[in-house]
Structures are given as C-alpha cells and as structure tokens.
Amino acid sequence: MMAKVKTASGEFPLLFEVKGSGEPRAIAQLAVYAKEAKGYVVLVAPLVSERGRALCIELGLGFVDMAGNAYLKFDGVLVDRAGRKGPAKERGNIDVFARKASRVVMKLLSSPKRTWTLQEIAAEAKVSVSQAQLVVEALSREAYVDKARGSIGLSRPGELLDAWAKTYNFSSQKATGYYCPLKDQERILAALRKLPEGSYALTLGAAASLVAPAVRSTDVYIYAPEGLEAIVKALDLKPVEFGGNVYLVEPNDGGILFDTQRKEGLTLVSSLQLYLDLFNYPARGREQAEAIREKALGV
C-alpha cells in the first residue's frame, strides 16, 4: 500500500509492506527493498518483537503492528509507541536460551566465524539433530544466523550474546556455602590443583582473576559436576548458612561445562560461560564481565 502524508516540507510518500510475520528475518529482507524504494518503507505485521523493533530502527524502517506498537520517523515526524503485548507466539517457537537449547547457542558463539552443518552442531552440542534444527530455525527467524546450501553461520554474534546475557541468571543454580579453614584464596586454589581435572571448574571472581583481572574478589565459586563430596573433603569444608568463603555450585545443565580451560594448573569454565555467569552478578560483576569480553571473547 502507498499513502502520501502532508508534512511541513510538503507531501511525503509512505510505502506499507504487509507481512504475515514481524520476525527479524522478514525485516532484513524488507531492508533490501527499502534501499531502492522512493519513500519511507513501513512494515505492517501482526506483532513486531523488541528485537524486531531495534532492527527496524537500525535499518531505517518504520513499523506498525496489530498490538498497537509503532515506530515512524521521517521528514521531521516521529511516532513511537512500544510495550504493547501481542498474542502468544505461534508455530511452537522455542526459547533458544533454555537449558538444552542453549547448548547450540553456546557452540555457535564459541566459534563465531565458523560455519557448521546441522549434524556437526548437534554432535558438538550433544543434542539430537531435530533439537538442533529447531534452535537453528529459531535463530534464523531472529536473523542471528545465515543458512546457505546446508551451512550454518552466525551473522550477528555480538547481538546474540547480548540477548543471552540479559536473560541468563547464574543464581538460578543451587549454590551451597562453606567455610574453608585455609581462608586465603591462594591456599584454597593450591588445594584445588590436586583434584582431577574434570572434577570441578572455577567461575566468577576467582576464575576471572586468571583470565582478565579487573575486580578483586575473595570468594571462590566452584562448579561441582561430579558431586560435592570430593571437593568438600579436599578443602576440609564446613557448611555454613552465612559468611562462607567457598561456594559449590551444582550446574543445571551439562552445557555449562563445555570447553573448560586450564589456567595456572586450575580448571576454569570457558570464557564465554564466565562472561554469562558474571554479567548479571552483583558486586561489580558487569564490570568484570566486560573485561572478559574485551580480552577473551571474539564477539
């Protein structure tokens, strides 16, 4: 549809493109047409998500959806309405940041410049091919990945990591506090070095101090994938309700311990997982997370 509106400088053409979906993939396709259009291109769709809205603004497009959200900016005119909720998502869309689904996202972000086949990403993420396909399709609709001739590659890795970090919550996992009589962090880490490599993984401040030190931390947080007993015994830990100096964390999914790394004889979570754990963590976690991203991540 086309309409002409009168502005202070005269008539201005609006070109409305009606789509059955307001997904970022459709927006990206519309942006190609908009480059040649003689007027301001406006997407009309049942619902435009927050990410779709950001993409429209970035690409110089307007939009109007059936929930009452709108963004129009042309020739000195600005219409901006946001926050109205539409109907529930259709087509069985999945949450790509849910526990098992996020394994696929983790693998894609761990090698942001790599291209994958569906079988490769499923095998490395330790999920079924059908599960991997659902996640990849959802990421494609959000314009995070490109698919061409059977290859899968990230197109906006930084934006995908930003979206994941906003929703990730380290505190959703069970963490048990203990008092360690060794007290000094260096002595605690020295005792950890004696444990088998796969029996633990450091995270938060203690791990960050070995990857990209930016904030001083005295607490020691340790993922315990094989149970707590071996670590409790090795460090002579005593459970406490408050004031512990060592915290043992039970990971809520195996993907958290993908791609662990070794630093100074200690096992740490991957730099990507460390960034996620720190991002929403209080006590200057965001500051430390950004230091990790700048030094250790490629996105």
Across the chain, mean pLDDT equals 90
For 27-47, how does the pLDDT look when each residue is reduced to its tens digit (9 = 90+)? Answer: 888 888 888 888 899 999 888
Query: Which residue in the block uniquely carries the two structure tokens 């086949």?
Result: 117
Rounded Cα distance between 115 and 121, Å, is: 9
pLDDT at 87: 60
Q: What pLDDT sits at residue 187?
A: 93
In this prediction, residues 229-254 reach a mean pLDDT of: 91
**Residue predicted with more confidence, 89 or 130:** 130
Domains and CATH numbers, the chain: 2-81 (no CATH), 102-167 (1.10.10.10), 170-296 (3.30.460)
Amino acid making up residue 42: V
229: Cβ–Cβ under 8 A, 6 or more apart, which residues? none
Query: Over 70: is that where the pLDDT of 24 sits?
Result: yes
The pLDDT tens digits for 196-231 are 888 999 999 999 999 998 888 888 999 998 888 889
Banded model confidence at residue 86, pLDDT cuts 50, 70, 90: low
Average pLDDT on 261-278 reads: 96
Which whole number is the average pLDDT over 280-298? 91
| Tens-digit pLDDT profile for residues 119-169 | 999 999 999 999 999 999 999 988 899 888 779 999 999 999 999 999 999
Q: Which residue has the higher pLDDT, 103 or 85?
A: 103
**Distance (Å, whole) CA 25 – CA 10:** 34
pLDDT of residue 287: 93
Q: What is the pLDDT of residue 91?
A: 47
Place of tokens 């030190």: 213
Q: What is the mean pLDDT of residues 82-101?
A: 74
**Residue 289: pLDDT over 90:** yes
pLDDT digits (tens, 9 = 90+) for 99-128: 899 999 999 999 999 999 999 999 999 999
Give the residue with greater pLDDT, 21 vs 263.
Answer: 263
Per-residue pLDDT at 120:
96
* Per-residue confidence (pLDDT) for residue 192, from 0 to 100: 93
